[in-house]
């Protein structure tokens, strides 16, 4: 009997709740339809619908914000991709400009050098190979006999003398520079016109970036550090007056008659890409002929 009463009570409660819900909805609908203001209906509506509306508005705003965020993110990614492509293009253009400027500077340097020695006919060439080591002591250029090159022609770069052609092929030529250990050049100090012998020396190039000279007669001590040194008119292999470098150090020899020292070359023998080949050659002899370096008792072989 008790069980039956509890069940009946639960059913009654259920029905009562359903009835009240229906009544509330009916009253709210009637109030909204008939536009009845004030009273308990509005109060009930305020408690029920206002929070629901706020919740719907908040959810809608959140969804709208997220949608805008996704759109903004997609736009940013697209703009970022475009900026990356523009940056790559500008970087490529900048590298091209730098390369063109570098080539232009090299050509301008050769042009300036060409204008310093207008009496010589010259042709430009590029370095295509070199011997091992840091220095361009022996290297190969991309011009040969088909371009009119011959053994014994002088090579220039930078501001002066590089070396001499020692071997020629149809489309290449090998050059021995004046810094090579086997190189010798008859030279002259421009301030005094005293002759000397300039010798290649890779050891001094490594330590002081200089080559050596010897057999300089300077009894009046007129030759000073910084004086220019050029190829001598008595040279049988090198054209006259090509700048070699500047006196870097000088000291008297033990015989008290001559002086020796070092010369700083005007050519950068560590970085070399383009050179000028003087197409004129000396016709007074070859690389085995001896020549005077300023004194009849001293003979040197120029190479």
For residue 152, what is the domain's CATH number?
Answer: 2.40.10.340
Distance of CA 279 to the CA centre of its chain: 33
How much is the pLDDT for 296?
Answer: 34
- Between 168 and 90, name the one with better pLDDT: 168
Give the residue-averaged pLDDT of 14-23.
Answer: 70
Residue 211, in any domain of the structure: yes
- Indicate the SS3 state at residue 207: helix
Of 205 and 2, the structure prediction assigns the larger pLDDT to: 205
pLDDT the model gives residue 297: 35
Average pLDDT over residues 11-38: 64
* Residue with the larger pLDDT of the pair 16 and 1: 16
Residue 83 inside a domain? The answer is no
pTM to 2 decimal places: 0.64
CA distance linking residue 15 with residue 27, whole number of Å: 18
- C-alpha distances out from residue 264 to 202, 208, 227, 229, 238, Å: 13, 8, 11, 10, 19
State yes or no: pLDDT of 295 exceeds 80: no
Report yes or no on 112 lying in a domain: no
Between 24 and 184, whose confidence is greater? 184
Return the closest-CA partner of residue 162 out of 175, 174, 148, 151: 175
* Continuous segment of H or E residues that includes residue 241: none
First to last CA, the chain: 136
Residue 216 placed within a domain? yes
Q: What is the DSSP letter of 193?
A: -
Which of left, alpha, beta for 239 (phi over 0: left; psi -120 to 50: alpha)? beta
42 within some domain: no
pLDDT in tens, 185-244: 999 999 999 999 999 999 999 999 999 999 999 988 999 999 999 999 999 999 999 999
Whole-number Å distance between alpha carbons of 106 and 126: 11
The tally of domains found in the chain comes to 1
Q: What's the pLDDT tens digit per position in 142-160?
A: 999 999 999 999 999 988 9
Does 71 fall in a domain?
no
- Examine residue 298 and state whether it is found in any structural domain, yes or no: no
Q: Do the domain assignments include residue 167?
A: yes
Question: In 3-state terms, what secondary structure has residue 1?
Answer: coil
Query: Which residue range(s) make up the domain with 246?
Result: 122-286
């Amino acid at each position: 009997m008790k069980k039956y009463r509890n069940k009946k009570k639960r059913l009654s409660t259920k029905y009562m709740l359903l009835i009240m819900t229906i009544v509330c909805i009916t009253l709210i609908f009637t109030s909204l339809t008939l536009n009845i203001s004030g009273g308990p209906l509005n109060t009930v509506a305020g408690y029920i619908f206002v929070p629901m509306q706020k919740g719907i508005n908040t959810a809608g705003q959140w969804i709208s914000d997220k949608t805008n965020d996704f759109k903004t993110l997609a736009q940013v990614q697209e703009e970022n991709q475009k900026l990356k492509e523009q940056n790559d293009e500008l970087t490529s253009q900048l590298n091209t400009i730098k390369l063109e400027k570098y080539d232009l500077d090299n050509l301008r340097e050769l042009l300036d050098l060409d204008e310093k020695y207008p009496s010589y006919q010259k042709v430009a060439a590029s370095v295509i190979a070199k011997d091992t080591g840091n220095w361009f002591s022996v290297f190969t250029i991309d011009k040969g006999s088909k371009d009119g090159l011959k053994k014994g022609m002088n090579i220039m770069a930078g501001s002066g003398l590089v070396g001499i052609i020692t071997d020629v092929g149809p489309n290449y030529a090998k050059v021995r520079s004046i810094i090579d250990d086997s190189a010798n050049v008859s030279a002259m100090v421009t301030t005094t016109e005293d002759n000397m012998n300039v010798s290649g020396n890779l050891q001094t190039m490594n330590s002081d970036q200089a080559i050596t000279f010897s057999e300089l007669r300077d009894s009046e001590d007129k030759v000073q550090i910084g004086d220019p040194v050029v190829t001598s008119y008595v040279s049988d292999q090198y054209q006259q007056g090509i700048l070699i470098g500047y006196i870097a150090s000088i000291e008297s020899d033990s015989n008290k008659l001559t002086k020796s020292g070092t010369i700083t070359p005007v050519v950068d023998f560590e970085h070399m890409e383009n050179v000028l080949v003087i197409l004129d050659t000396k016709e007074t002899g070859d690389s085995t002929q001896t020549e005077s370096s300023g004194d009849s008792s001293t003979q040197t072989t120029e190479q």
